[in-house]
Amino acid sequence: MASKSSETMAFYDIAMRPPIASNCSAPNPWKARLALNFKDIAYSTTWVPLPEIAQVRRDLGVPAGRKFGDGTDFYTLPILVDPKTNSKVGDSFDIAVYLQKTYPATGAGDLFPPQKLDFVFNPDSALLVPLSERTESEHADYSHFNTHVDAAFTAHTVLMAYNLPFEPNTAEASKAEFVRRARVSSWDDFEVQGEQREKIKESFCRTLGDLGKLFLRDTSGPFLLGQQASYADLIVGGWLHMMRGTLPSDEWEEARGWHGGIFGRLYDGLEKYTQVK
Ligand SMILES: N[C@@H](CCC(=O)N[C@@H](CS)C(=O)NCC(=O)O)C(=O)O
């Protein structure tokens, strides 16, 4: 989309270790980046170190969109600021809805084409940090899918947390915050190896098998609707980017090949929407 620089949108993502373009790995900002690129929007990224997210969000006047288990506010990214409409949107799903509504005809078209998104995942135990609560019903089927995909991947992030490529200047503070949230005694408690790791990988593979079934309804392309990508593919794609950035590389290669390579093909199919700007 041709756009003057004063109209360039500001997109806020979490700073990671340089080179940032290959290390940014937060799934919800990734969903929004994929949606911005899908819509061919002019934007520029502001990289926020993890310990500064709350302040940045407060300074922008965007309320917290998530709560910790104890009910206190959890300040998160992404945020998108659109100077053209004076809008500030602080949730990845809301960003996709906003882009579709405000810029319906740009880029690759409709982010929310009708389709059946009947994936359900109910975690065995409560997630460490509850997901955002959503009450609105706009694109309710996609919103439901987003919640269940988030739950499915979040239940297995113990495989990924230890390898998060933290930004060096704030790595210690970030790790300390994760230790506090998980109520463990040290960062090394996040390392999961051996038999325990294999068991969690099996569960992850099984869970992705259930999700993968939806991709087998139309095998004319890598997306749920075959050759037509939609926001549902970008939701899964956001998590695949977290996996790529945080799993040991042999495990990422293994996961790409699970269930006949469904997720490797999806990751590659979304490549055209992965520019980090
Ligand atoms: N429902 C929100 C959730 C956003 C969220 O959880 N963001 C994570 C990164 S994926 C975050 O900002 N974490 C900051 C932290 O862990 O301190 C959305 O979809 O935007």
DSSP assignment letter at 47: E
Q: What pLDDT sits at residue 1?
A: 44
Residue nearest to atom 13 of ligand 1 (CA): 76
Helix axes 92-102, 27-38, angle to 10 degrees: 10
Residue of 88, 103, 94 whose CA lies nearest to 39: 103
Residue 31 pLDDT: 98
pLDDT at residue 132, as a whole number: 82
In testing the pocket of ligand 1, which one of 25, 55, 66, 153 has its CB within 8 Å of the most ligand atoms? 66
Residue type, 57: R
Contact of 164 with 25, CB cutoff 8 Å? yes
Q: Please tell me the distance between residue 78's alpha carbon and the centre of ligand 1 in angstroms.
A: 7
d(CA 46, CA 196): 38
Q: Domains of the chain, with CATH numbers?
A: 5-273 (3.40.30.10)
State the Cα angle at 71 between 48 and 187, rounded to 5°: 55
Residue with CA nearest ligand 1 atom 1: 132
| Residue to probe by mutation, ligand 1, list 77, 80, 89, 234, most atoms within 8 Å of CB | 77
10 Å Cβ neighbour count for 202? 10
* Torsion, Cα of 51, 54, 58, 59 (10° steps): 10
Atom of ligand 1 nearest to the CA of 30: 10
| pLDDT at res. 124 | 82
The pLDDT value recorded for residue 5 is 58
- Are 67 and 115 spatial neighbours (Cβ–Cβ below 8 Å)? no
The Cα-based distances of 34 to 39, 113, 131, 195, 237 in angstroms read 9, 16, 21, 35, 8
Amino acid at position 177, single letter: E
Report the pLDDT value the prediction gives residue 56, as an integer from 0 to 100: 98
Residues in the chain where the model's pLDDT stays below 50: 1-4
**Which atom of ligand 1 sits closest to the CA of residue 28?**
10
Q: Within 6 Å (CB) of ligand 1, which residues are found? A: 14, 26-28, 50, 53, 65-66, 76-78, 91-93, 132
pLDDT digits (tens, 9 = 90+) for 218-265: 999 999 999 999 999 999 999 999 999 999 999 999 999 999 999 999
| Model pLDDT, residue 68 | 94
Contact by Cβ (8 Å): 32, 78: yes
Residue nearest to atom 2 of ligand 1 (CA): 91
Minimum-distance ligand 1 atom for the alpha carbon of 95: 20
d(CA 62, CA 78): 11
- How far is C-alpha 78 from the chain's CA centre? 9
Based on C-alpha coordinates, what's the Rg of the chain?
A: 18
- The rounded distance, in Å, linking the Cα atoms of 41 and 3 is 8
Beta-bridge partners for 226: 223
pLDDT for res 226? 98
Q: Can you give the pLDDT at residue 3? A: 45
Nearest residue (CA) to ligand 1, atom 9: 26
